[in-house]
Structure 1
Amino acid sequence: MRVIFLFATIFVAAVLATGHQTHPSMQGMQSLSISYDTPEQFSLLKNYVDDPGFDFVRSTNDLVDVLVTADKIEEFKQLLEEHRMNYTVMIEDVHQLVTEQYIEQQVERRLQARSQDYASGRLSFTYYPNYTEVNEYLTYLTQTYKNIASLITIGNSYEKRSMKVLKLSTGGANKPAIFIDAGIHAREWIAPATALYMVDLMLQNHRDLLTKVDWYVLPVLNPDGYEYTHSSSANRLWRKTRSNTGSTCRGVDGNRNYDMQWMTIGASSDPCSDTYAGPKPFSEVENQHLRDFILTRKGQIKAYLTFHSYGQYILYPWGWTSNVPANEPELVSKLLMNIIASAIMHFVTNNIFTLLSLLFQRNLAIQCAQAIAKSRRTRYTYGTSYNALYPNSGPSDDWAMDKAGIKLSFTYELPGGNYGDLLPASEIKPVGIETFEALKVTHQYVTSKYASH
């Protein structure tokens, strides 16, 4: 064990020496969670968005989480105090945490390499798999469950990595399907791991979920960015794709790149921004492949689920505009008031499809949040992306609902605890188990509404 740990330590020291020229140094970087009360305070915080040394990783209607480099942290804290904004230091030293986790990853990977399970391609879910390990696991599933699992290669990424969709089906025609993707944002490691662990749970103990519904799972939608975050601890916080759009800054925010109100709100035209929407809608080849795969199965796919982190949200369209009051109540007993208000607005615009979809979305989101809470008391907030989290345009869930006609379209922002996107690997199984409860609810809903009986 000591030898393995020493080897991993030396290896990490080597990779930390590379790649810093394109990333802010994590040495002394801190993660802050800041609460604000007034529009003026929020406006002050917005001034720092996309400034060098600041990485706003989460924003809601009353708080923001931001990573701040060592050279800016003390001055920024003083500014917050002067403007009476409360903040909590969530991570004292991002560099130290990332280094420790990188070492733990290497140690656990080598320990698992000694076991027969690992040799066969099976994942232990005790560490976050890289791109190669994800594909090895997918191959393992197709070999172990030959009558159920198959792989569909939907194309190659910008850097020519194959993108594989896992199909789970017991056969039969005209079955409704549920589509799952994860990993569109490279640093959100818990998302692909959760998607894969839920597949593991389904195949081991819940194959009844395959009887009347087919499943399509794309565990890593952004394979280039995801592999980049695994290639060196210095790259751990990379978010975008790895395409070259002609700027000195690489990559596009894949979840701002869909042809749905593209670049209207909550997206950036700056190639160096983490929310850069790209030079045009669907500029990213990875998104093109997903689009083509889903549209080819238009009418069959009844639910679209995309997994992100973090914050414990179940979100549904729209992100670019508000269709319900911003203070939309979360209690089922008050749902009727929202239905009436939404009905008036939507009937005025003759958009009945959107109204019905909104009702489906909200009802199902409530049930899924309740199912998760029963597992280990994790509380999820639910609502439209615009109202429950923040405005954004060009996301995949809006596109899936409007362009692909999928009435049940959800974004899951998985838990991050005090770690944000650096959630320890020990949380993979707990998060997967509780999220699987929501998956079962979605399956039941799709089965009762769309499957033949």
Structure 2
Amino acid sequence: MFKIVLFFVLYFSFSIAKHEHYDGYVVYQITVTDKQQAERVYTLENELLLDVWLYAAPTIPGLVLVPGPMRERFQSEVAAIGDTNKPVIMLQSLLHAREWVTLPVTLYAIEKLVIDITDKNLVDNIDWIILPIANPDGYEFSHEHLRFWRKNRSTGHTITNLCVGVDLNRNFGYNFGLWSSDIACSEAYHGKGPFSEPESQAVRSIVLEHSNRLELYFDVHSHGSIILYGYGDGILPPNGLTIHLVAVRIAQAIDAVKWPSKPNYSVGNIALTFANVSGTAMDYVQGIGVPLSYIHEMPAHRNENNSLTGTLVDPDYIEQAGYETWEGIKVGARWVLENSRRNKH
């Protein structure tokens, strides 16, 4: 089968040589299974004026740089020979800027899916969408200025711009504004309206584009050693039992390989476990019909209960964070392969 994977998007500008700007360009990884598919890529190179970084062969994935204006046409051209029946799994981290320990989870997943492939069926039979830094401006600010910054960096919420930023995990369009804050200086400020922020809009666009195939959604956060599911008002989705059972299996897989010093994972509805919440990405994704949608709370730094210092990162734990969480994600992925909505048609 012919396969393309969005490798990364160059949303920032940089110069390789004079007058060469790559703002909005997209890099795709391409996998082909035979000579005919490889030749099709060569044809598209000339038709669409693509920049092929690495030519694809049946044994070697290729890399293609696609200009932003040509992205839609490129995707439509390859769709005619692509496989649109595979389920999609989406992983996302750093919606909250200060939760640095979540980044190793998505980066480790990329490594296991692209470089160090040990579970080939998860690569061949699933399309993966991985968003490592969902809040790039906030994440940079937490590095350069305030380590415990949580929100994004949008302005215009007060007349004086004294208070900056929106809690992106309160900005999604499900029960918006019910259990969050309309005070711009609050850490839980939900913004001017649902999807008022470019970051939540970007996530929504990705989710909607793949909603008919999206089977499992992980929004990775820190901290608490818990896997949470919706809804934030305490009402369970119709498939609530399945959601809970899959989460238990994921938690058990992580517990089997975690550090002994870390607590076992627990599982539960977010409202019944913590408190009512609204406007979360998890609830929005669940609400549009995706079967499995979770907030995955990573273990706290040195098992601390403090909401701030618990998000710190022990350097020795970085690789382990990716490894143990991937063991859980694989369990969810295998469940998807066996129980995908596509399998029921």
Alignment check: 8 A CA contact 1:381 1:388 kept: no
Q: Are 1:286 and 2:199 matched, yes or no?
A: yes
Alignment check: 8 A CA contact 1:259 1:399 kept: yes
**AA paired with 1:390?**
A
1:289-300 equivalent positions in 2, closer than 5 A? 289-300=202-213
Task: Using the TM superposition, give the Cα deviation of residue 205 of structure 1 relative to its aligned residue in structure 2, in angstroms.
Answer: 2.8
**What is the aligned residue count?**
269
**AA paired with 2:149?**
W
Look up the SS of the partner of 1:303 in the other structure: strand
Partner of residue 286, structure 2: 401
1:31-70 equivalent positions in 2, closer than 5 A? none
Deviations 1:161-189 (Å, cap 9, x if unpaired)? xxxxxxxxxx6331110011111100001
Partner of residue 103, structure 2: 192
- For structure 2, the residue ranges without an aligned partner over 5 or more in a row are 1-11, 14-25, 31-52, 69-81, 303-308
Look up the SS of the partner of 1:355 in the other structure: coil
1:428 maps to which of 304, 312, 318: 318
- Of structures 1 and 2, the larger Rg is shown by 1
Alignment check: 8 A CA contact 2:27 2:66 kept: no
Task: Using the TM superposition, give the Cα deviation of residue 152 of structure 1 relative to its aligned residue in structure 2, in angstroms.
Answer: 9.3
1:290-439 equivalent positions in 2, closer than 5 A? 290-319=203-232, 321-323=233-235, 354-356=237-239, 358-376=240-258, 377=260, 378=262, 379-402=264-287, 404-418=288-302, 419-439=309-329
Partner of residue 101, structure 1: none
Look up the SS of the partner of 1:215 in the other structure: strand
- Cα separation, 2, equivalents of 1:277 and 1:370: 34
**AA paired with 1:323?**
I
1:254 maps to which of 168, 175, 184: 168
- Cα separation, 1, equivalents of 2:326 and 2:132: 15
- Cα separation, 2, equivalents of 1:249 and 1:190: 26
TM-score by length of 2: 0.71
Alignment check: 8 A CA contact 1:243 1:250 kept: yes
Query: What's the % identity of the aligned pairs?
Result: 32
- For structure 1, the residue ranges without an aligned partner over 5 or more in a row are 1-130, 133-137, 155-170, 325-353
Look up the SS of the partner of 2:216 in the other structure: strand
**AA paired with 1:375?**
V
Task: Using the TM superposition, give the Cα deviation of residue 153 of structure 1 relative to its aligned residue in structure 2, in angstroms.
Answer: 10
- Cα separation, 2, equivalents of 1:385 and 1:193: 24
Alignment check: 8 A CA contact 2:87 2:336 kept: yes
Larger displacement relative to structure 2 (409-418 or 270-279): 409-418
Task: Using the TM superposition, give the Cα deviation of residue 150 of structure 1 relative to its aligned residue in structure 2, in angstroms.
Answer: 7.7
Task: Using the TM superposition, give the Cα deviation of residue 417 of structure 1 relative to its aligned residue in structure 2, in angstroms.
Answer: 3.0
Q: Structure 2 vs 1, CA of residues 153 and 260 (structure 1 numbering), >3 Å: closer, same or farther?
A: farther
Alignment check: 8 A CA contact 2:222 2:297 kept: yes
1:137-148 equivalent positions in 2, closer than 5 A? 147=61
- Cα separation, 2, equivalents of 1:442 and 1:151: 32
Task: Using the TM superposition, give the Cα deviation of residue 245 of structure 1 relative to its aligned residue in structure 2, in angstroms.
Answer: 2.6
Alignment check: 8 A CA contact 1:245 1:279 kept: no
**AA paired with 2:185?**
C
Task: Using the TM superposition, give the Cα deviation of residue 226 of structure 1 relative to its aligned residue in structure 2, in angstroms.
Answer: 0.6
Deviations 1:108-164 (Å, cap 9, x if unpaired)? xxxxxxxxxxxxxxxxxxxxxxx99xxxxx97988789727789999xxxxxxxxxx
- Cα separation, 1, equivalents of 2:297 and 2:224: 6
Q: Structure 2 vs 1, CA of residues 383 and 153 (structure 1 numbering), >3 Å: closer, same or farther?
A: farther
More helix by share: 1
- Cα separation, 2, equivalents of 1:151 and 1:392: 41
- Cα separation, 2, equivalents of 1:264 and 1:287: 18
Deviations 1:402-423 (Å, cap 9, x if unpaired)? 1x31010011001123351112
RMSD after superposition: 2.9
Task: Using the TM superposition, give the Cα deviation of residue 209 of structure 1 relative to its aligned residue in structure 2, in angstroms.
Answer: 1.1
Partner of residue 19, structure 1: none
Look up the SS of the partner of 2:257 in the other structure: helix
1:446 maps to which of 332, 336, 343: 336
Partner of residue 205, structure 1: 117
Deviations 1:18-60 (Å, cap 9, x if unpaired)? xxxxxxxxxxxxxxxxxxxxxxxxxxxxxxxxxxxxxxxxxxx
- Cα separation, 2, equivalents of 1:214 and 1:294: 13
Partner of residue 88, structure 2: 177
Q: Are 1:223 and 2:139 matched, yes or no?
A: no
